[in-house]
Structure 1
Amino acid sequence: MDYQTFQPHSDLKSVVKCFWTLEVPAEESSQRQRILPDGCIELIFMLGDDVKRIISENEFIVQPRTMVIGQITEPFLIEPTGYVHSFAVRFYPYGFANFVPVPIKNLANKETPAAALFGETASKELEQKIIQATDTPGRIKIAEDFLLDKLKNKATIDHIVKSTIDIIFSTKGSAAVHTILKGDLSKRRQLERKFLQQVGMSPKQLCKVIRLQTALKMLLHPQGESLTEIAYESEYYDQAHFTKDFQEFTGTNPKDFLSDKTMMLSALFYKQG
Protein backbone atom coordinates (compact mmCIF):
# COMPACT_ATOMS: atom_id res chain seq x y z
CA MET A 1 0.00 0.00 0.00
CA ASP A 2 1.68 3.19 -1.20
CA TYR A 3 0.11 6.52 -0.17
CA GLN A 4 1.89 9.82 -0.86
CA THR A 5 0.97 13.48 -0.50
CA PHE A 6 2.28 16.51 -2.43
CA GLN A 7 2.05 20.25 -1.76
CA PRO A 8 0.14 22.48 -4.22
CA HIS A 9 1.31 25.51 -6.20
CA SER A 10 1.67 28.62 -4.03
CA ASP A 11 -1.34 30.24 -5.75
CA LEU A 12 -3.52 27.32 -4.65
CA LYS A 13 -2.24 26.83 -1.10
CA SER A 14 -5.09 28.77 0.46
CA VAL A 15 -7.73 26.42 -1.00
CA VAL A 16 -5.95 23.12 -1.78
CA LYS A 17 -4.57 21.17 1.18
CA CYS A 18 -2.60 18.67 -0.91
CA PHE A 19 -2.53 16.32 -3.85
CA TRP A 20 -2.32 12.62 -3.06
CA THR A 21 -1.77 9.29 -4.76
CA LEU A 22 -2.66 5.79 -3.62
CA GLU A 23 -1.59 2.47 -5.08
CA VAL A 24 -2.61 -0.91 -3.68
CA PRO A 25 -1.77 -4.17 -5.53
CA ALA A 26 -4.79 -6.29 -6.45
CA GLU A 27 -3.74 -9.09 -4.08
CA GLU A 28 -3.85 -6.65 -1.14
CA SER A 29 -6.96 -4.68 -2.05
CA SER A 30 -9.91 -7.04 -1.54
CA GLN A 31 -10.47 -6.01 2.09
CA ARG A 32 -13.36 -3.61 2.61
CA GLN A 33 -12.26 -0.28 4.08
CA ARG A 34 -14.05 2.42 6.05
CA ILE A 35 -13.21 5.97 4.95
CA LEU A 36 -13.66 8.43 7.80
CA PRO A 37 -14.83 12.06 7.75
CA ASP A 38 -11.95 14.56 7.70
CA GLY A 39 -13.70 17.87 6.97
CA CYS A 40 -12.27 18.07 3.44
CA ILE A 41 -13.69 17.66 -0.07
CA GLU A 42 -11.83 15.63 -2.67
CA LEU A 43 -11.62 15.45 -6.45
CA ILE A 44 -10.58 11.88 -7.22
CA PHE A 45 -9.42 10.22 -10.45
CA MET A 46 -9.67 6.41 -10.51
CA LEU A 47 -6.76 5.18 -12.64
CA GLY A 48 -6.95 1.51 -11.64
CA ASP A 49 -9.82 -0.94 -11.34
CA ASP A 50 -13.31 -0.01 -10.19
CA VAL A 51 -14.15 0.61 -6.54
CA LYS A 52 -17.53 -0.19 -5.01
CA ARG A 53 -19.17 1.76 -2.21
CA ILE A 54 -21.27 -0.51 -0.02
CA ILE A 55 -24.66 1.05 0.69
CA SER A 56 -26.29 -1.84 2.57
CA GLU A 57 -25.82 -5.54 3.08
CA ASN A 58 -27.09 -6.29 -0.44
CA GLU A 59 -26.51 -3.00 -2.27
CA PHE A 60 -23.52 -1.20 -3.69
CA ILE A 61 -22.66 1.42 -6.30
CA VAL A 62 -19.59 1.54 -8.53
CA GLN A 63 -17.93 4.88 -7.91
CA PRO A 64 -17.47 7.20 -10.92
CA ARG A 65 -14.03 7.17 -12.54
CA THR A 66 -13.70 10.91 -11.91
CA MET A 67 -15.69 12.21 -8.97
CA VAL A 68 -15.98 14.68 -6.14
CA ILE A 69 -16.52 13.30 -2.66
CA GLY A 70 -18.38 15.93 -0.65
CA GLN A 71 -18.35 16.35 3.11
CA ILE A 72 -19.13 13.07 4.81
CA THR A 73 -20.58 12.83 8.30
CA GLU A 74 -20.43 9.05 8.60
CA PRO A 75 -17.96 6.41 7.36
CA PHE A 76 -17.97 5.37 3.69
CA LEU A 77 -17.53 1.60 3.31
CA ILE A 78 -15.65 0.86 0.09
CA GLU A 79 -14.50 -2.35 -1.59
CA PRO A 80 -11.90 -2.36 -4.40
CA THR A 81 -12.45 -4.83 -7.25
CA GLY A 82 -8.75 -5.16 -8.05
CA TYR A 83 -5.72 -2.91 -8.47
CA VAL A 84 -6.18 0.44 -6.75
CA HIS A 85 -4.53 3.45 -8.35
CA SER A 86 -5.90 6.89 -7.49
CA PHE A 87 -4.80 10.48 -7.97
CA ALA A 88 -6.68 13.16 -6.03
CA VAL A 89 -6.92 16.77 -4.94
CA ARG A 90 -7.82 17.37 -1.29
CA PHE A 91 -9.47 20.76 -0.71
CA TYR A 92 -9.69 22.66 2.55
CA PRO A 93 -13.26 22.80 3.96
CA TYR A 94 -13.91 26.17 2.29
CA GLY A 95 -11.71 25.50 -0.74
CA PHE A 96 -13.94 23.71 -3.23
CA ALA A 97 -16.64 26.41 -3.16
CA ASN A 98 -14.22 28.60 -5.13
CA PHE A 99 -14.44 26.32 -8.16
CA VAL A 100 -18.11 25.41 -8.62
CA PRO A 101 -21.39 27.37 -8.67
CA VAL A 102 -23.49 24.78 -6.82
CA PRO A 103 -24.11 24.88 -3.05
CA ILE A 104 -21.56 22.59 -1.40
CA LYS A 105 -24.28 21.10 0.82
CA ASN A 106 -25.63 19.39 -2.34
CA LEU A 107 -22.47 17.25 -2.48
CA ALA A 108 -22.64 15.93 1.08
CA ASN A 109 -22.40 12.19 1.85
CA LYS A 110 -22.11 11.06 -1.75
CA GLU A 111 -19.86 10.94 -4.80
CA THR A 112 -20.74 13.33 -7.63
CA PRO A 113 -19.41 12.73 -11.16
CA ALA A 114 -17.03 15.55 -12.11
CA ALA A 115 -19.02 16.10 -15.31
CA ALA A 116 -22.03 17.21 -13.24
CA LEU A 117 -19.93 20.02 -11.73
CA PHE A 118 -17.49 21.05 -14.45
CA GLY A 119 -19.45 20.10 -17.57
CA GLU A 120 -19.14 16.99 -19.74
CA THR A 121 -16.58 18.38 -22.19
CA ALA A 122 -14.23 20.01 -19.67
CA SER A 123 -14.43 17.05 -17.32
CA LYS A 124 -13.70 14.47 -20.02
CA GLU A 125 -10.78 16.53 -21.33
CA LEU A 126 -9.33 16.80 -17.82
CA GLU A 127 -9.83 13.10 -17.16
CA GLN A 128 -8.08 12.08 -20.40
CA LYS A 129 -5.12 14.36 -19.68
CA ILE A 130 -4.76 12.88 -16.19
CA ILE A 131 -4.97 9.31 -17.54
CA GLN A 132 -2.43 9.97 -20.29
CA ALA A 133 0.10 11.71 -18.03
CA THR A 134 3.11 9.49 -17.40
CA ASP A 135 3.85 10.45 -13.79
CA THR A 136 2.54 12.21 -10.69
CA PRO A 137 4.30 15.57 -11.31
CA GLY A 138 2.64 15.66 -14.72
CA ARG A 139 -0.78 14.97 -13.22
CA ILE A 140 -0.28 17.64 -10.58
CA LYS A 141 0.63 20.20 -13.26
CA ILE A 142 -2.51 19.31 -15.28
CA ALA A 143 -4.76 19.58 -12.21
CA GLU A 144 -3.16 22.84 -11.10
CA ASP A 145 -3.58 24.45 -14.53
CA PHE A 146 -7.26 23.41 -14.54
CA LEU A 147 -7.89 24.76 -11.04
CA LEU A 148 -5.96 28.01 -11.53
CA ASP A 149 -7.99 28.72 -14.65
CA LYS A 150 -11.22 28.12 -12.69
CA LEU A 151 -10.04 30.19 -9.75
CA LYS A 152 -9.68 33.32 -11.87
CA ASN A 153 -13.41 33.45 -12.37
CA LYS A 154 -14.62 32.79 -8.84
CA ALA A 155 -15.30 35.14 -5.95
CA THR A 156 -13.12 34.89 -2.87
CA ILE A 157 -14.60 32.74 -0.14
CA ASP A 158 -16.64 34.61 2.47
CA HIS A 159 -14.38 36.12 5.15
CA ILE A 160 -16.56 35.09 8.10
CA VAL A 161 -16.50 31.46 6.94
CA LYS A 162 -12.75 31.35 6.47
CA SER A 163 -11.96 33.12 9.75
CA THR A 164 -14.26 30.73 11.64
CA ILE A 165 -12.62 27.70 10.02
CA ASP A 166 -9.18 29.10 10.86
CA ILE A 167 -10.24 29.32 14.53
CA ILE A 168 -11.68 25.79 14.44
CA PHE A 169 -8.42 24.41 13.08
CA SER A 170 -6.19 26.45 15.39
CA THR A 171 -8.14 25.24 18.45
CA LYS A 172 -8.30 21.66 17.08
CA GLY A 173 -12.08 21.77 17.03
CA SER A 174 -12.50 22.70 20.68
CA ALA A 175 -13.76 26.28 20.16
CA ALA A 176 -17.50 26.59 20.71
CA VAL A 177 -19.29 28.40 17.87
CA HIS A 178 -21.17 30.72 20.24
CA THR A 179 -17.82 31.72 21.75
CA ILE A 180 -16.34 32.47 18.32
CA LEU A 181 -19.34 34.71 17.53
CA LYS A 182 -19.45 36.19 21.06
CA GLY A 183 -22.97 34.88 21.60
CA ASP A 184 -24.56 36.81 18.70
CA LEU A 185 -27.49 34.53 17.71
CA SER A 186 -28.22 36.35 14.42
CA LYS A 187 -24.61 35.90 13.33
CA ARG A 188 -24.77 32.22 14.20
CA ARG A 189 -27.77 31.60 11.95
CA GLN A 190 -26.09 33.51 9.13
CA LEU A 191 -22.86 31.58 9.64
CA GLU A 192 -24.64 28.22 9.62
CA ARG A 193 -26.35 29.07 6.30
CA LYS A 194 -23.03 30.13 4.77
CA PHE A 195 -21.28 27.01 6.07
CA LEU A 196 -23.84 24.74 4.42
CA GLN A 197 -23.48 26.67 1.15
CA GLN A 198 -19.67 26.93 1.13
CA VAL A 199 -18.40 24.06 3.31
CA GLY A 200 -21.15 21.45 3.15
CA MET A 201 -21.61 20.91 6.88
CA SER A 202 -22.43 23.00 9.94
CA PRO A 203 -19.74 24.68 12.08
CA LYS A 204 -20.62 22.29 14.92
CA GLN A 205 -20.13 19.23 12.69
CA LEU A 206 -16.78 20.54 11.46
CA CYS A 207 -15.67 21.13 15.06
CA LYS A 208 -16.54 17.52 15.89
CA VAL A 209 -14.64 16.19 12.87
CA ILE A 210 -11.51 18.25 13.58
CA ARG A 211 -11.54 17.33 17.27
CA LEU A 212 -11.82 13.66 16.28
CA GLN A 213 -8.81 14.10 13.97
CA THR A 214 -6.77 15.30 16.94
CA ALA A 215 -7.72 12.23 18.95
CA LEU A 216 -7.11 9.84 16.03
CA LYS A 217 -3.62 11.20 15.47
CA MET A 218 -2.83 10.66 19.16
CA LEU A 219 -4.06 7.07 18.86
CA LEU A 220 -1.90 6.53 15.77
CA HIS A 221 1.19 8.18 17.31
CA PRO A 222 0.93 6.98 20.91
CA GLN A 223 3.03 8.60 23.61
CA GLY A 224 1.79 6.34 26.37
CA GLU A 225 -1.48 8.20 26.94
CA SER A 226 -4.55 6.36 28.21
CA LEU A 227 -7.87 6.75 26.40
CA THR A 228 -9.00 9.06 29.21
CA GLU A 229 -5.91 11.24 28.74
CA ILE A 230 -6.46 11.33 24.96
CA ALA A 231 -10.08 12.35 25.57
CA TYR A 232 -9.14 15.25 27.83
CA GLU A 233 -6.20 16.39 25.69
CA SER A 234 -8.57 16.45 22.69
CA GLU A 235 -10.96 18.67 24.68
CA TYR A 236 -13.74 16.12 25.20
CA TYR A 237 -15.79 16.43 28.40
CA ASP A 238 -14.86 12.90 29.42
CA GLN A 239 -14.05 9.48 27.97
CA ALA A 240 -17.76 8.65 27.44
CA HIS A 241 -18.17 11.78 25.29
CA PHE A 242 -15.02 10.84 23.34
CA THR A 243 -16.25 7.28 22.75
CA LYS A 244 -19.71 8.45 21.64
CA ASP A 245 -18.29 10.88 19.02
CA PHE A 246 -15.69 8.32 17.94
CA GLN A 247 -18.33 5.67 17.26
CA GLU A 248 -20.55 8.18 15.46
CA PHE A 249 -17.84 9.09 12.95
CA THR A 250 -15.94 5.79 12.64
CA GLY A 251 -18.45 3.03 13.34
CA THR A 252 -16.12 1.47 15.92
CA ASN A 253 -14.74 2.31 19.36
CA PRO A 254 -11.29 3.70 20.23
CA LYS A 255 -10.08 0.41 21.75
CA ASP A 256 -10.81 -1.56 18.57
CA PHE A 257 -9.69 1.09 16.05
CA LEU A 258 -6.04 0.06 15.71
CA SER A 259 -6.82 -3.65 15.29
CA ASP A 260 -9.73 -3.13 12.86
CA LYS A 261 -8.52 -4.19 9.40
CA THR A 262 -11.24 -2.13 7.72
CA MET A 263 -9.54 0.98 9.15
CA MET A 264 -6.10 0.35 7.61
CA LEU A 265 -6.57 2.85 4.78
CA SER A 266 -8.08 5.57 6.97
CA ALA A 267 -5.28 5.09 9.50
CA LEU A 268 -2.77 5.57 6.68
CA PHE A 269 -4.53 8.78 5.54
CA TYR A 270 -4.58 10.17 9.07
CA LYS A 271 -0.95 9.31 9.81
CA GLN A 272 0.31 11.29 6.83
CA GLY A 273 -2.36 14.01 6.67
Structure 2
Amino acid sequence: MNYQTFQPQLDLAPLIKCYWIMESPKDENPQQQTIVPDGCMEMIFHYGDLYRQYLENGENVVQPRSCVFGQLTQPLKIEPTGVTGIFSVRFHYDGFLPFATIPIKEMDNKAISLEKIFGTDGTELERNVLQAKTTEEKIAAVELFLLNRLNMETIDKIVQSTVDTILTANGQMPINELSKRININRRQLERKFSMTIGLSPKQLSKTIRLQSILKLLLNKEFTSLTTLAYDADYYDQAHFIKDFKEFTGLTPKEFYGESLKMSSLFYRTE
Protein backbone atom coordinates (compact mmCIF):
# COMPACT_ATOMS: atom_id res chain seq x y z
CA MET A 1 0.00 0.00 0.00
CA ASN A 2 1.26 3.47 -0.91
CA TYR A 3 0.30 6.25 1.54
CA GLN A 4 1.84 9.72 1.31
CA THR A 5 1.04 13.14 2.74
CA PHE A 6 1.70 16.59 1.25
CA GLN A 7 1.59 20.07 2.78
CA PRO A 8 -0.62 22.92 1.52
CA GLN A 9 0.63 26.31 0.39
CA LEU A 10 0.96 28.97 3.10
CA ASP A 11 -2.32 30.77 2.33
CA LEU A 12 -4.26 27.56 3.01
CA ALA A 13 -2.11 26.13 5.80
CA PRO A 14 -4.33 27.60 8.60
CA LEU A 15 -7.28 25.68 7.12
CA ILE A 16 -5.79 22.52 5.60
CA LYS A 17 -3.86 20.03 7.71
CA CYS A 18 -2.51 18.06 4.75
CA TYR A 19 -3.28 16.34 1.48
CA TRP A 20 -2.87 12.59 1.26
CA ILE A 21 -3.02 9.82 -1.29
CA MET A 22 -3.58 6.12 -0.75
CA GLU A 23 -3.14 3.47 -3.42
CA SER A 24 -3.32 -0.31 -3.25
CA PRO A 25 -4.14 -3.18 -5.64
CA LYS A 26 -7.39 -5.09 -5.57
CA ASP A 27 -7.72 -7.45 -2.61
CA GLU A 28 -9.29 -10.78 -3.49
CA ASN A 29 -10.65 -11.00 0.07
CA PRO A 30 -11.54 -7.39 0.97
CA GLN A 31 -12.21 -6.68 4.62
CA GLN A 32 -14.05 -3.92 6.41
CA GLN A 33 -11.86 -1.19 7.84
CA THR A 34 -12.76 0.99 10.82
CA ILE A 35 -12.13 4.73 10.61
CA VAL A 36 -12.42 6.41 14.00
CA PRO A 37 -13.30 10.10 14.56
CA ASP A 38 -10.38 12.53 14.48
CA GLY A 39 -12.23 15.88 14.45
CA CYS A 40 -11.19 16.68 10.86
CA MET A 41 -13.46 16.91 7.82
CA GLU A 42 -12.17 15.51 4.53
CA MET A 43 -12.68 16.29 0.85
CA ILE A 44 -12.23 12.94 -0.89
CA PHE A 45 -11.68 12.00 -4.55
CA HIS A 46 -11.77 8.35 -5.63
CA TYR A 47 -9.64 7.96 -8.77
CA GLY A 48 -9.64 4.22 -8.16
CA ASP A 49 -12.66 2.02 -7.49
CA LEU A 50 -15.23 3.28 -5.01
CA TYR A 51 -15.57 2.30 -1.36
CA ARG A 52 -18.59 0.71 0.26
CA GLN A 53 -19.81 2.38 3.45
CA TYR A 54 -21.74 0.43 6.08
CA LEU A 55 -24.61 2.16 7.87
CA GLU A 56 -25.91 1.75 11.42
CA ASN A 57 -29.03 -0.07 10.23
CA GLY A 58 -26.93 -2.81 8.62
CA GLU A 59 -27.38 -1.52 5.06
CA ASN A 60 -24.55 -0.24 2.92
CA VAL A 61 -24.04 2.39 0.22
CA VAL A 62 -21.30 3.10 -2.29
CA GLN A 63 -19.60 6.42 -1.62
CA PRO A 64 -19.71 9.18 -4.27
CA ARG A 65 -16.80 9.54 -6.68
CA SER A 66 -15.99 12.82 -4.93
CA CYS A 67 -17.41 14.10 -1.66
CA VAL A 68 -16.86 16.00 1.55
CA PHE A 69 -17.13 13.80 4.62
CA GLY A 70 -18.54 15.62 7.63
CA GLN A 71 -17.48 15.14 11.23
CA LEU A 72 -17.55 11.59 12.50
CA THR A 73 -19.30 11.16 15.84
CA GLN A 74 -19.01 7.36 15.70
CA PRO A 75 -16.78 4.72 14.04
CA LEU A 76 -17.09 4.49 10.26
CA LYS A 77 -17.00 1.07 8.58
CA ILE A 78 -15.83 1.01 4.96
CA GLU A 79 -14.64 -1.62 2.48
CA PRO A 80 -12.85 -1.38 -0.88
CA THR A 81 -14.68 -2.68 -3.95
CA GLY A 82 -11.56 -3.01 -6.10
CA VAL A 83 -8.36 -1.06 -6.75
CA THR A 84 -7.82 1.75 -4.22
CA GLY A 85 -6.86 5.20 -5.49
CA ILE A 86 -7.78 8.05 -3.13
CA PHE A 87 -6.74 11.69 -3.03
CA SER A 88 -7.97 13.60 0.01
CA VAL A 89 -7.86 17.05 1.57
CA ARG A 90 -7.76 16.85 5.37
CA PHE A 91 -8.99 20.09 6.91
CA HIS A 92 -8.13 21.42 10.36
CA TYR A 93 -10.91 21.15 12.96
CA ASP A 94 -12.69 24.32 11.77
CA GLY A 95 -11.00 24.45 8.36
CA PHE A 96 -13.89 23.61 6.05
CA LEU A 97 -16.22 26.37 7.30
CA PRO A 98 -14.89 29.10 4.92
CA PHE A 99 -15.91 26.91 1.96
CA ALA A 100 -19.19 25.44 3.24
CA THR A 101 -22.47 26.09 1.43
CA ILE A 102 -24.64 24.08 3.84
CA PRO A 103 -24.61 24.07 7.67
CA ILE A 104 -21.58 22.17 8.98
CA LYS A 105 -23.65 20.35 11.61
CA GLU A 106 -25.92 18.88 8.92
CA MET A 107 -22.89 17.13 7.41
CA ASP A 108 -22.06 14.98 10.46
CA ASN A 109 -21.43 11.31 9.55
CA LYS A 110 -22.34 11.91 5.89
CA ALA A 111 -20.44 11.71 2.59
CA ILE A 112 -21.94 14.58 0.58
CA SER A 113 -21.11 14.85 -3.12
CA LEU A 114 -19.22 17.89 -4.37
CA GLU A 115 -22.05 18.51 -6.83
CA LYS A 116 -24.53 18.86 -3.95
CA ILE A 117 -22.22 21.23 -2.05
CA PHE A 118 -20.84 23.33 -4.91
CA GLY A 119 -23.19 22.66 -7.85
CA THR A 120 -21.61 22.64 -11.33
CA ASP A 121 -18.38 24.07 -9.86
CA GLY A 122 -18.09 20.90 -7.77
CA THR A 123 -18.60 18.74 -10.84
CA GLU A 124 -15.86 20.66 -12.66
CA LEU A 125 -13.49 20.32 -9.69
CA GLU A 126 -14.08 16.55 -9.64
CA ARG A 127 -13.30 16.33 -13.35
CA ASN A 128 -10.12 18.41 -13.02
CA VAL A 129 -8.80 16.37 -10.09
CA LEU A 130 -9.62 12.98 -11.61
CA GLN A 131 -8.05 13.93 -14.94
CA ALA A 132 -4.86 15.24 -13.29
CA LYS A 133 -1.94 12.92 -13.99
CA THR A 134 0.12 13.67 -10.87
CA THR A 135 -0.57 14.37 -7.22
CA GLU A 136 0.95 17.83 -7.66
CA GLU A 137 -1.59 18.59 -10.41
CA LYS A 138 -4.41 17.36 -8.18
CA ILE A 139 -3.24 19.64 -5.38
CA ALA A 140 -2.97 22.61 -7.75
CA ALA A 141 -6.55 22.06 -8.99
CA VAL A 142 -7.93 21.88 -5.44
CA GLU A 143 -5.97 24.88 -4.20
CA LEU A 144 -7.08 27.06 -7.12
CA PHE A 145 -10.70 26.09 -6.42
CA LEU A 146 -10.48 26.70 -2.67
CA LEU A 147 -8.61 30.01 -2.92
CA ASN A 148 -11.26 31.31 -5.31
CA ARG A 149 -14.00 30.42 -2.80
CA LEU A 150 -12.22 31.37 0.41
CA ASN A 151 -14.30 33.50 2.76
CA MET A 152 -12.05 34.60 5.63
CA GLU A 153 -14.94 36.42 7.35
CA THR A 154 -16.36 33.09 8.50
CA ILE A 155 -13.28 32.25 10.58
CA ASP A 156 -14.13 32.49 14.28
CA LYS A 157 -11.17 33.62 16.39
CA ILE A 158 -12.88 32.50 19.62
CA VAL A 159 -13.28 28.96 18.27
CA GLN A 160 -9.67 28.91 17.06
CA SER A 161 -8.43 30.05 20.47
CA THR A 162 -10.58 27.44 22.21
CA VAL A 163 -9.32 24.66 19.93
CA ASP A 164 -5.73 25.68 20.72
CA THR A 165 -6.53 25.48 24.44
CA ILE A 166 -8.12 22.04 24.04
CA LEU A 167 -5.06 20.80 22.14
CA THR A 168 -2.67 22.18 24.74
CA ALA A 169 -4.66 20.40 27.46
CA ASN A 170 -4.77 17.21 25.34
CA GLY A 171 -8.57 17.24 25.62
CA GLN A 172 -8.44 16.88 29.42
CA MET A 173 -9.80 20.28 30.47
CA PRO A 174 -13.42 20.31 31.82
CA ILE A 175 -15.75 22.35 29.59
CA ASN A 176 -16.80 24.72 32.38
CA GLU A 177 -13.17 25.54 33.03
CA LEU A 178 -12.59 25.89 29.29
CA SER A 179 -15.41 28.46 28.93
CA LYS A 180 -14.03 30.42 31.89
CA ARG A 181 -10.54 30.37 30.40
CA ILE A 182 -11.87 31.71 27.08
CA ASN A 183 -14.22 34.08 28.91
CA ILE A 184 -17.40 33.04 27.10
CA ASN A 185 -20.66 31.49 28.27
CA ARG A 186 -20.71 27.69 27.88
CA ARG A 187 -23.89 27.69 25.78
CA GLN A 188 -22.50 30.36 23.47
CA LEU A 189 -19.33 28.34 23.07
CA GLU A 190 -21.31 25.21 22.25
CA ARG A 191 -23.34 27.07 19.61
CA LYS A 192 -20.18 28.44 18.01
CA PHE A 193 -18.59 24.98 17.89
CA SER A 194 -21.72 23.42 16.39
CA MET A 195 -21.76 26.04 13.62
CA THR A 196 -18.05 26.02 12.81
CA ILE A 197 -16.83 22.49 13.58
CA GLY A 198 -19.95 20.32 13.77
CA LEU A 199 -18.97 19.00 17.20
CA SER A 200 -19.49 20.33 20.71
CA PRO A 201 -16.42 21.36 22.74
CA LYS A 202 -16.95 18.21 24.82
CA GLN A 203 -17.05 15.98 21.74
CA LEU A 204 -13.91 17.55 20.29
CA SER A 205 -12.12 17.29 23.65
CA LYS A 206 -13.03 13.61 23.89
CA THR A 207 -11.86 13.05 20.31
CA ILE A 208 -8.48 14.70 20.92
CA ARG A 209 -8.03 12.83 24.20
CA LEU A 210 -8.79 9.45 22.64
CA GLN A 211 -6.74 10.17 19.51
CA SER A 212 -3.65 10.54 21.70
CA ILE A 213 -4.41 7.14 23.23
CA LEU A 214 -4.90 5.52 19.81
CA LYS A 215 -1.51 6.75 18.64
CA LEU A 216 0.14 5.23 21.71
CA LEU A 217 -1.71 1.95 21.14
CA LEU A 218 -0.89 1.71 17.45
CA ASN A 219 2.75 2.64 18.01
CA LYS A 220 2.96 0.29 21.04
CA GLU A 221 4.18 3.11 23.27
CA PHE A 222 2.56 2.04 26.54
CA THR A 223 3.19 -0.34 29.42
CA SER A 224 -0.40 -1.37 30.17
CA LEU A 225 -3.98 -0.38 29.33
CA THR A 226 -4.48 0.66 32.95
CA THR A 227 -1.55 3.06 32.72
CA LEU A 228 -2.97 4.47 29.49
CA ALA A 229 -6.25 5.27 31.23
CA TYR A 230 -4.65 7.04 34.17
CA ASP A 231 -2.16 8.93 32.00
CA ALA A 232 -5.14 10.28 30.04
CA ASP A 233 -6.66 11.41 33.35
CA TYR A 234 -9.62 9.03 33.34
CA TYR A 235 -11.25 8.61 36.73
CA ASP A 236 -11.39 4.83 36.41
CA GLN A 237 -11.08 1.96 33.95
CA ALA A 238 -14.84 1.66 33.43
CA HIS A 239 -15.10 5.27 32.25
CA PHE A 240 -12.11 4.79 29.95
CA ILE A 241 -13.51 1.61 28.40
CA LYS A 242 -16.96 3.18 27.90
CA ASP A 243 -15.55 6.24 26.07
CA PHE A 244 -13.14 4.13 24.04
CA LYS A 245 -15.83 1.73 22.86
CA GLU A 246 -18.15 4.60 21.92
CA PHE A 247 -15.29 6.09 19.91
CA THR A 248 -13.96 2.97 18.15
CA GLY A 249 -16.71 0.35 18.49
CA LEU A 250 -14.25 -1.86 20.41
CA THR A 251 -12.80 -2.14 23.89
CA PRO A 252 -9.12 -1.10 24.19
CA LYS A 253 -8.10 -4.75 24.38
CA GLU A 254 -10.15 -5.67 21.29
CA PHE A 255 -8.84 -2.63 19.41
CA TYR A 256 -5.23 -3.54 20.12
CA GLY A 257 -5.81 -7.01 18.68
CA GLU A 258 -7.53 -5.79 15.52
CA SER A 259 -5.86 -5.32 12.14
CA LEU A 260 -6.59 -1.64 11.56
CA LYS A 261 -4.62 -1.12 8.39
CA MET A 262 -5.86 2.33 7.39
CA SER A 263 -5.88 3.75 10.91
CA SER A 264 -2.32 2.56 11.42
CA LEU A 265 -1.21 4.40 8.29
CA PHE A 266 -2.85 7.66 9.33
CA TYR A 267 -1.60 7.72 12.92
CA ARG A 268 1.93 6.51 12.37
CA THR A 269 2.73 9.15 9.74
CA GLU A 270 1.41 12.23 11.56
- Where on the TM-score scale, by shorter chain, does this alignment land: which range? over 0.9
Identity %, equivalent residues: 48
* CA separation of 1:236 and 1:126: change in aligned 2, threshold 3 A: same
Instruction: Provide Cα deviations, 1:150-179, integer angstroms capped at 9, x if missing partner.
Output: 11x441411111111111112111122211
User: Cα offset for 1:258?
Assistant: 2.8
Q: Which secondary structure state, in structure 1, belongs to the residue aligned with residue 11 of structure 2?
A: helix
User: Cα offset for 1:239?
Assistant: 2.4
Instruction: Provide Cα deviations, 1:48-86, integer angstroms capped at 9, x if missing partner.
Output: 112111125751111111101100111111111111110
* CA separation of 1:199 and 1:132: change in aligned 2, threshold 3 A: same
What corresponds to 1:128 in structure 2? 127
Looking at structure 1, the residues matched to 230 and 4 of structure 2 have their Cα atoms a distance apart, in angstroms, of 31
What corresponds to 1:248 in structure 2? 246
Looking at structure 1, the residues matched to 242 and 227 of structure 2 have their Cα atoms a distance apart, in angstroms, of 16
Looking at structure 2, the residues matched to 29 and 175 of structure 1 have their Cα atoms a distance apart, in angstroms, of 44
Looking at structure 1, the residues matched to 205 and 190 of structure 2 have their Cα atoms a distance apart, in angstroms, of 13
Higher mean C-alpha deviation, range 52-61 or range 101-110: 52-61
Looking at structure 2, the residues matched to 99 and 57 of structure 1 have their Cα atoms a distance apart, in angstroms, of 31
Report if aligned partners of 1:103, 1:196 keep a CA contact under 8 Å in 2.
no
Gaps (5+ residues) in structure 2?
none
Looking at structure 1, the residues matched to 233 and 182 of structure 2 have their Cα atoms a distance apart, in angstroms, of 23
Runs of 4+ in structure 1 over 4 Å off? 183-186
Looking at structure 1, the residues matched to 140 and 184 of structure 2 have their Cα atoms a distance apart, in angstroms, of 43
Q: CA RMSD in A?
A: 1.8
Looking at structure 2, the residues matched to 81 and 116 of structure 1 have their Cα atoms a distance apart, in angstroms, of 24
Report if aligned partners of 2:114, 2:126 keep a CA contact under 8 Å in 1.
no
What corresponds to 1:165 in structure 2? 163
1:112 and 2:112 correspond: yes
TM-score by length of 1: 0.93
What corresponds to 1:238 in structure 2? 236
What corresponds to 1:138 in structure 2? 137
TM-score by length of 2: 0.94
Pick the aligned partner of 1:220 from 218, 221, 224: 218
Gaps (5+ residues) in structure 1?
none
What corresponds to 2:87 in structure 1? 87
